[in-house]
Every structure is written in C-alpha cells, then in structure tokens.
Structure 1
Amino acid sequence: PVQNINYAYQVFPAILCVLLYSQLEKFFNKISPKVIRSFFVPMMSLLITVPITLLVLGPIGYNFGQGFAGVILFVFGKFGWIAVAILAAFLPFMVVTGMHKAMIPYVITSLGQSGRELIYNAASLAHNISEAGGCFAVSIRTKDKALRSTAVSAGISALFGITEPALYGVTILHKRVLYGVMIGAFTGGAFLGAQAVEAYVAVGPGIASLSMFISETLPNNLMNAIMGLGVSFVASFIAVSVLWKEEAPSKEAEKVENNKEKFNAPLEGELIPLSEVKDEVFSNKLMGEGFAIIPSKGELYAPIDGTIEMIFETKHSLAMKSEEGTEILFHVGLDTVNLKGKYFNPEVSVGKSVKKGDLLLSFDLDKIIAEGFDPVTATIITNRPDAKIGTVESKKVTKKDNVFEIN
C-alpha cells in the first residue's frame, strides 16, 4: 500500500530521489537533440522520477530510517547505556545525511506516552558538545588562520546545540577530527546512558537548553546532564588534540598551485604584446589572452606538447590543446582568410600528437606580404580566462625561446 509520509521532514528519500534524477538526466542528455534538450530532459526526468519516488524510493528511504531507529531502540532494550553511546558516536553521519530526522517520531512518541525520553536527547547532547570540544581543539592546534576562525565560530554554535557549522566546516573535512569527535561522543554518551539521564522536552540539547533535563522526581538528573556535557567536551578536546595532524596539501593541489605551462615562440621574428596588433578582436583580447609575433620566416611551430584540434579550411589558422588541457589558437596574418588557403601548407592533421618545436604549418611569407596582408601572427589562449599570465615584452625570438608562461 502507498504510505502517507510527510517528506518535508525526510532527507534520505530526497537523496534517493536526486540520485535517480541525476542518472535519468544524463541518459536523456545523451539521446535528445540539442534543440529540444532544455525542456525535454527535465520534463522526461521528472515524469519518471516523481512517481517512482512517491511509490518506491520515498517509502524505502522512510522505512530505512524507521528501521534504523528501531535498531537503536532494540539495542537500548538489550544493552541499555551502550545504545546511547553508539548512537552518539554515529550521529555525525546521521546528521550529515539527515537520518537523525528518523528519530524525531520516536522522541515525540516517547514524550507523549511517558513524559520522558532516555536515548536520543542524551546522545544528541553528547554529540553536540563533542563537536564543540573538537572544534576548540582544532582552533588551538591548527596553523591555518581560516580554519581556526571557522573552528572557533562553529565550536561556539555547537555548544548551543547547532552542529551543522561544525560538521560541514570542520569535522567531515578532516577525518582525524571526525574520529576524535566520535570518541568524545561515545564517552559522553556512555556516561549519560549509564546515569539514565532523561529529557522532558524535544529541543536541540546544548548549554542554553539544559533546562530540558530538569526533573521533579530525579534531583540529580540535571547535574548528571551537566557532568555528561563536561565529559563529552573534555574527551573530544583531548582526543582531537592528540589525533590532530596538520594536513599537507595534496599532490594534485600542489600541482595546480605550482605548475606552470611554458610556451616557446611558435615562430621566428619579433615578439609583441597583443595590444599592438592592428585588429580589435586580438588587441582587445576578445578571444582570450596571448601574444603575437611579426614573423621573419614562414614556419609555425608547436610552442608546447599537445594535440592538433582544428585546422581552418582556409589553412591560415589552426588550434591545438596542450597536455594540461590549455587550448591554443594560432592565426597567421590579418584578414588572410581572404587568401582562401593560397600560400599556406599544413604539415599536420587533426588529432595528431605533436611535441614542442614540431613544424605545424609552412607559409610563403614573402608572397603574403606582396599581396598586401599584414603577416603578424597571434597566439591566443582560448579557454583560460582566469589564468595568470606572465608579461610579454617586445624582442626578437626563435622557436627555442620561452616567451610565455601560464599558471
């Protein structure tokens, strides 16, 4: 039977829904013509996703969450305090995926039936304060100023029961912090579970909401909650302080930060900045950054290792892609498209791999000049608008000279 579920408070079904939609979107993008893609792809993806989510994926996600809550209750019934400790340790994962929402019906039911709740709120208190302890430990141990600032503000927020800034800003980004928080949450949860700390209101546990543990029949309940708070904070703080290790930048990050592509001159002649080219398309850099050369010899060479991507039908222009993915356009002469290929002879074909210094194109420089065309040749980087480019200075160059660098 179809279940009547309030999906506004369910996250796991939404995750399943988006996973299905993403796959359908990829499929319809492949098979649909580009002209109808903008409306056809979302329409077809939703036509399939919505009913499948309502009839299948939604109930699966909901029942999975309910089943998880049932497991917690079963463990608590069998092992008592250990259930609180285990739940507290796994709350980072539950909050990140939204599965902690599956515990809300249990909390409301428990409070409605008996006026008290012994598992989730205690575990949540241990987890929330452990996030705070872990963040403050990071703020002391890290040398990263940005991370320190994030950890301090997230730690303060966690003390008051709001853990998302700590989770997304610190904990799940650093596995050693995650381990330390889990240790602190488990330790604090074990203490609170062993003391059978009861909650009487359904709110997020934190310093400002400790009154939720005030009991008329258990005078030590609030004190035990405060002690559990302290145990969670101290255990997490110590665990993260011991486990913390400043993470070095990954090799890929170092490569991105430090690697520079170095381009040799693609022609022999006089190197000039693009701004001096007598064509606004090039001088105003409408196609991208680059440089230009007034050639003294009718040969165009590969300035870097890569692959030939395009040869214009009139042969005066060609493009290549470097091994790092930088796309480079060569345009020999101004308005030379009007020569319709005369005087140009490509030495490579599309798809051919080339090495730095390989001959790409030969052209009759004297005849091009005799026809009244400006032979200045522009080299344009077409797909790196955000790249940092070295200064181009006017000078005589050969194909062995390094003239251009790009980060």
Structure 2
Amino acid sequence: MNMDGPLDFENEDLLVNPPPSADKRKKVIELDDLVSEHYKEQSKLIDKGNRKRKASSKLYDSDDDDERGQEALLSIMNEICSEEDTQEWGLSMFEDQKAPTRSLLPDIDNCYLLKEFMSSQLNSVVDLNPDNGTAFLEGLLANGWLTKLILTCARVETIICQWTLDILLYSPKEDLSSSACDFWCSILLSQNKVNGAPFEIQWLPNYQILKEALESYGFRINSSQDAEIPEADSKSQGPPQNIRAWLKLVSACCQIRCKKPIFTASQLEQLAEVLVWLLLDRGLQGLSLLLQECLISVTESFREEEWVSSCKNIANSLASRVPQDMNCLRIVESVAGVDARSKHLRSTIANQMLVVLLEHKESDENLMSSLMAINLKEKSCNLFRTYMMLVLAENWLLSKTVFARSIAPIFGLLHQKFVPKLHIFVKDAEAIELVNLKR
C-alpha cells in the first residue's frame, strides 16, 4: 500500500484530478484530409495567379492607351508641322560659270616698266626679251617685288593696272590672283609720297568691270528670288575661287572713296545688295567675316547726305525680292550691327520686311497695331510667320532708342502675349498646350 498516494475518495474529486481537456486531444489525420488540404492550397495558388494576371492585363491596357494617345498627339503634331513651311535658310547664288569677257587684256609688251628693264644694265643678267616679259612680270608679282617696286616709284601706269586687275579677277592660279589682290590693296591704300607728291594711279577699276566679273562667275544678279539650295552632288554650281579677291578689291575701293570716288551712290547700293545676297549662300559661309567687313566698308563709304535715302533703297530692294521664309531672318542676322550704320541698315531691312509681310502698312502705328491684332488661338494663325514677324519687329526697334523707350509698355505686352505661346510651339515637352491652341 502506498502511504504517499492519494486516498480512494480523493481520486474521485474533480478538483484534484480534472478530466483531460478535449482541446488537448490529438486528432487522427487521415489520408483524405491530406488530399483535401492539398487541393485547397492549389486552389489558393491558382486564384492568386489569376489576380496577378488580371492586374497586369489592366496595366498593359493602360500602357496601350498611353501609346495610342501619344500616337494621336504625334499625328496632330505632324499635321501642324506639315502646315508650317520651316525650311532652312540658304540660296544658291551662283549658277554655271561663263566665259569671261576679258575686256582688259592690255598689250604688256608696251609696258613702260618692262622697257626700262630691257634697256637697263640688269638685262644682261636677266636676259629679258618680249617673249618672256609676261613670265618675268608674273614672277615679280608672285614674290611681291612688283608691289615694292611700284610703291618705291609712287607711280603705277595704266598697262600694269589693267594687267594685274585681269589676273586678280580671272586667273585660275590662286597664288597669282592672291598676289594681284595684295598688289591692288597696297597701291589703293598706300600713303607713300615721292618728293612731296602723292602716289599716282593712272587707271582705276569701275563698277561695270566688277559687275562683268561677277556675272562671269555665274552670280544670279536678277534671279535671287528663284534661287534654291543646290544639290549635294552639284559640280557646276558654287562660288569661284576669285570671289575672295573680288571682295577684297571692292572693300579697298570703298575705303578710298572720300579721296578717289570710284563708285556712285546708286552703284554702292547695288554692291551692298550683292553682298547681302552672298551672305545667304551656304557655299560662302567660310567667307562670312570677309563679307561682313566688305559690307561695312560699303556702308561707311556713303556720304552723310546720301546714307539715309540709300539705306532705305537697299532695304526696299532686298525686302521685295527675298523669299518669305527663314531667309528673311537670315538676311537681318547677317548684317552685323557693330557700328551705327550697320545697325541702321539692319533695322531698316527688318522694317521693310515687316511692311511686306503685313501688306504694305508703312505707318509704324499700323505695323504695331497689326502685330497686336494677331490671335494665336485662331486655327488659321500661321505660327511660324508670327514668329518671323516678332523677330523682325525686335530687330527693327532695337536701333530706335527713343522710339523703343516710348513704346516699351506696348512691346512688353506684345512680348508677353506671343513669346510664351511660341515657346510652346518650339518645345516638344509642351506639345499638349500647342494642340489646344491649334484646336
């Protein structure tokens, strides 16, 4: 008998020996239960996969909608761009070159300088004769000795003048043409004196000779409005190599007009127009600085009483002939506003182009009123044309200090009205607002 164990009646007490809890009883898991649980888990996985596929399909549909919206927007943009002609600037100002007239071609055998050489003692060393006289002078010209000799004598005869000018304008040898150009620039701008007498030039070129040379180069003097950008493989078109020497000669002739007037005011106007047209030729971009310097020489050679009327004549001629596209802006930008007259010319050209674009409303008040009346929300509004007119108006007003100050509030309002919306046209990032404006 266990003395330490509970008594018989204590075993029957529920407080001392409580019955086992039903929760703690272990359930016997049968094979059917395992199979059922497996199918439940598989069903959950399938449902989860279906939900993922539905969510991804909604995302793809949203992406497709975005792509379709972008395509529609691009199609509208292409339609707008097709309505606006925004071709690049540039005109081919030279066509097929012609045979030069060569109206100069003097008889070099009658040259006084050559005869002096033949009769001097130095001829025993040089062995100069009429057959090799031209080659001898070309050698002197090429190495610069002819220029030094003429400057020392402070006198140049007619035959030498005509002979060197013919080489300058028409010689296919670039080094010889360049030497002839240096010769002419030196004698035209020379301040040398001998025995107190100024440098004597017996013969000077004229406008007709320079015009004939330009025509022989193939320059489109009267067909600038019909000129087009040349084909990439074009071999017959393009500026000739002598055009550089031609420009330097024109510049030198203009610089001495106050002492030796070679050109009349009307001829200077035509030269200025030619130079501006040349600035539109992409084939001459390498000569842009030389062209601008030459244009400044031409404008500075006008007398004070000639300048105002001549400036307007130049602007009127250019505005009436230039195509109404990017070339309008290029012409204005090509006139470098580095001095008072070039700024005046730039402003006048811009003004006359506005007059043409706005149907010849020549009053300044009418021009400004027409600009203010433009409504960008109208479907018929030409945004590119509006942009051109704003740029032209800016260049027109920049040189008019007093006028610009007096209309500053009006122009400021005009600028605020148009420029932000034109930036929308330029920036692809804000294309939606552009479409709203177009509608």
With the length of structure 1 as denominator, give the TM-score of the two structures: 0.21
Larger relative contact order (Cα-Cα within 8 Å, sequence gap ≥ 6): 2
The structure with more radius of gyration: 2
With the length of structure 2 as denominator, give the TM-score of the two structures: 0.20
Q: Higher strand fraction: Structure 1 or Structure 2?
A: 1
Q: Higher helix fraction: Structure 1 or Structure 2?
A: 2
